[in-house]
Chain A
Amino acid sequence: MTLAATLAELVSDFRANGRIVIVGASLAGLRGAEALREEGFSGSLTIIGDEPYEPYDRPPLSKQVLKGWVPAEHTLLPRFREVDAQWRLGVAATGLDRVARQVRLADGEQVPYHRLLIATGTRARPWPNPAEAALEGVFALRSRDDAARLQRALAARPSRVLVIGGGFIGSEVASVCRELDIPVTLTERGPAPLVGALGGVIGEIAAQMQRDHGVDLRCGVSVASLEGDAAGHVRRARLSDGTTVEVDVVLAALGSIRNVEWLQGSGLAAGPWGVGCDAGGRAFDINGVVTDSVYVAGDVARMPHVLYEYQFLAMEHWDNAVFGAEVAAHNMVNLEPHYRPHLSLPGFWSGQFGVNIKSVGVPPFGDEIVFTQGSVKDRSFAAAYGRRGRIVAAVTFDHGKWLEYYARLIEQSAPFPPPPPGWDRPDVMEPVPAEFPAPGVPTAIPDVVLTGHDPNERRAEFRPRGH
């Protein structure tokens, strides 16, 4: 038998008799499972999820669900095909033993695998003071239950809502509050909302949009403390500028934390930045060596992108979860030379204050921005981000139909600024600094140290910051 025939047999044997475990039962987990079956995998498939629910869609949670248009439980993801999986829902994975090839569950069970897909995503970063976070009326927003609780709180018509953090979730929730005619204060530590994702130039437009819709927007301030009443319900927030805001609902929209704790000790390159993997979704071990049996997809994955100087990017976007999972699934049931890369351009959308915001590429990778179409005044425009004379990203406000054009320019590393449109030109078409804040350094990142003296024995190891 030739080697090629042996390998082909190996693949077909794995597809028929292999055992695959997916940890994470949200968008990436589900689409990965469907893609595995689509690829002809007919072996055993187990999907583990810490939430008790079947996979559901998260984007509506901060929009239609909060408005009360759609009940939180009506967000189940459509199923594109039978996945014929054993679902272990409502039980978290708590550990990974790569030597024994087992996933440990919170109930003590060990689930064996031949190949593993990690799609554990992220969770909302909680309000850092546990006592304050436990006050009645203090919310985070990530899960379906979070959305249901916050929706009920909004439906009770609070006197004022405080949104802490002007990222997408915070801004969308502020928008919903205004649509429901609920007074809302939004605090943002940076100079404007959305600056982290889209920079200060766009942030300024977003800030004006919020104020025009009646949001009490406080930029450059943070919340020092939350205070409750005797019954343990939040009543007041003290801000860093010394002012106080009387509120009875608080949303902590502080970004996300990647769900990697369960991978501690697994020897994977997993940390606060995500789980490192190659562009085919194959996880790196702690030494930066690619593994053959562990794959990563979705928000928790961090992989190099050819268009962005091969930098490792974690893309917490809906599309990334779908396409990344499909690529990982394909590679899980194939061998070289049939591996596929996940090279799709990052992209996201948001709906707020009646405007549809869409982006393609990686805006923070750019250092300049130029308005290319439409009108900033009407909040209906397209803008491109550039770096060293190349276009690297674009954002649109109510101009989403043009995004495909910019995507193509980005894919071709086309010159920045892009050629002017034939019509509907903005008043000013000069590139200006995009005004991204300096990247923050997560404080919890552990040290990575090398151990061993013999070059053959050298290994990397995580050391928690010792203080």
Chain B
Amino acid sequence: MAEETPWQQALRYTNRANPYPFYAELRKTPVARQPDGTYVVSTYREIVTLLHDPRVSSDVRKLPSRAAAAVEPGAEPITEAVIELEPNIITCDPPEHDHDRRMMTRHFFGPADAPHQISDLEPDIRRIVAGLLDGMRGKTRIDVVDEYAYPLPVTLICKVLGVPLEDEPRFHAWIETALDALDFGPEAASEEMRSRLAGARRSVKELAQFMAGLLGQYAERPGPGMLSAMVHDGGPDGRMSEGVLASNAVLLLFAGHETTVNLIAHSVLTLLRHPEALEELRRRPDLIVPAVEELLRFESSVQFWHTRSAVEDIDIAGTTIPAGAPIFLVYGSANRDPQRFADPDRLDLERPDNQHLGFSQGIHFCFGAPLARLEVQVAVEEFVRRVENPRLVADPPPYRHNQIFRGPRHVLVDIDGIRD
């Protein structure tokens, strides 16, 4: 058997807590062809170049290799399940993308002359965060993921979208099942991963059906939140088709909290690993804005993205990515690229010129970034301020299986108490 490439090694579950040494190896070949024909791009400059290249498609339907099964054997079926949905804004190209995103933008941020729907959420965020921290009073050990990082974003996204919070156990299970089955690495071929696939496909379908049902209810009876507003949109761009709306609603629900959960969990974990940074932030709470940017760079919630492909031959970094080839952009590696970030493995809360790729760049720049920033800024700021003497119980903590949405399953922390 051929030796595994740095990329394949980076994807192995055993390396989930620390893929960075493999990324460093990977960056020696900025655009690296993998045995399956995928081109993995790991350096900052090349990723940014491709993010702005109109010969790169994000539309999975345009992947010729999909039919030819050139994508990872394990990845294909789950991708197929997603493809059965209509494309959402991260899996389609202009002009559809521009049209759909523009419509969603209006409902997410508010109209152009009053774009403050997200900033208006700050009191809610502060109230939820305060409640979660109050709930830890009297405890000596907490799980930052289950008790803090997860409840905040999920509560928020349900409110923003108008998804009943009572349905959380159901959609949480579907999302978890689907995420745990997605694998782009050598382990995809294992019995274990294969057995997860059937359940995952079912889960994706159930989630889509759940969302379609909810949209149907809103069609009959308008309710609060963005989804109902979109169902009834009479704006200049017309109404989004049911299928496309359902697909984007699934995206917003899922991406609208999973990534934020991982970011909050990773932020706490990272700060506990860097006591001097934690202390600095405690002393200077105004550092929270650049601090969160650095945390986004340091442990990116989306490690890479997998739906892009070359529509034409593209010459880059001494390689030609042939038309039709899948392209993986490894944001997690670009964010540690020493060619772009001085001393990239050092956490520097005041890092100058920190144009990280934690939210990507170009037309697919994270739609929910302003909400995520606000949530994480408040969550981290308040954790640092109120939790007394937090200590990591296990380092590294256990990680979730998923490689794209990389994050700890639990972060157990011993604490001395909760300040007012």
Which residues of A does B touch, CB under 8 Å?
Answer: 69, 372-375, 378, 380, 382, 398, 401-402, 404-405, 408, 419-424
> A422–B94 contact, CB under 8 A?
no
> A423–B312 contact, CB under 8 A?
no
List A contacts of B363 (CB < 8 A). 401-402
Partner of A375, one of B53, B95, B113, B311: B95
Partner of B98, one of A380, A419, A421: A380
> B311–A402 contact, CB under 8 A?
no
9 contacts between A and B (CB under 8 A): A69-B113, A374-B95, A382-B54, A402-B52, A404-B362, A405-B53, A405-B54, A420-B55, A422-B310
Q: Taking CB as reference atom, which chain B residue is nearest A404? A: B52
CA–CA, A398 to B237, complex, Å?
15
CA–CA, A372 to B55, complex, Å?
11
> B49–A423 contact, CB under 8 A?
no
> B55–A419 contact, CB under 8 A?
yes
- Interchain nearest-CB distance for B94 vs A (Å): 4
CA–CA, A375 to B99, complex, Å?
12
> A421–B95 contact, CB under 8 A?
no
> A405–B312 contact, CB under 8 A?
no
CA–CA, A340 to B388, complex, Å?
49
> B57–A423 contact, CB under 8 A?
yes
- Interchain nearest-CB distance for A413 vs B (Å): 15
List B contacts of A419 (CB < 8 A). 55, 312
List B contacts of A401 (CB < 8 A). 52, 362-363, 365
Interface residue B265 (Cβ < 8 Å from any Cβ of A): no
- Interchain nearest-CB distance for A331 vs B (Å): 20
CA–CA, A374 to B96, complex, Å?
11
CA–CA, A405 to B316, complex, Å?
13
Known: A401-B52, A421-B54, A423-B62. 6 other contacts (CB 8 A): A401-B362, A420-B312, A422-B93, A423-B59, A423-B93, A424-B94
A-B complex: 4 closest residue pairs judged by Cβ atoms = A422-B311, A421-B54, A405-B52, A424-B94
List B contacts of A402 (CB < 8 A). 52, 54, 362-363
List A contacts of B48 (CB < 8 A). 404
CA–CA, A173 to B52, complex, Å?
32
- Interchain nearest-CB distance for A252 vs B (Å): 29
Interface string of B82-118 (1 = CB under 8 A from A): 0000000000011100100000000000000100000
Q: Taking CB as reference atom, which chain A residue is nearest B311? A: A422
Partner of B94, one of A374, A404, A405, A408: A374
Interface residue B56 (Cβ < 8 Å from any Cβ of A): yes
CA–CA, A374 to B312, complex, Å?
17
Q: Which of B362-383 touch A at CB < 8 Å?
A: 362-363, 365
Known contacts A374-B95, A401-B362; A422/B56 CB under 8 A: yes
> A373–B94 contact, CB under 8 A?
yes
Partner of B54, one of A375, A378, A380, A424: A424
> A380–B95 contact, CB under 8 A?
yes
- Interchain nearest-CB distance for A225 vs B (Å): 39
CA–CA, A402 to B362, complex, Å?
7
List B contacts of A421 (CB < 8 A). 54-55, 311
Partner of A408, one of B49, B55, B57, B98: B49
> A423–B54 contact, CB under 8 A?
yes
Known contacts A401-B363, A408-B49; A422/B95 CB under 8 A: no
List A contacts of B94 (CB < 8 A). 373-374, 423-424
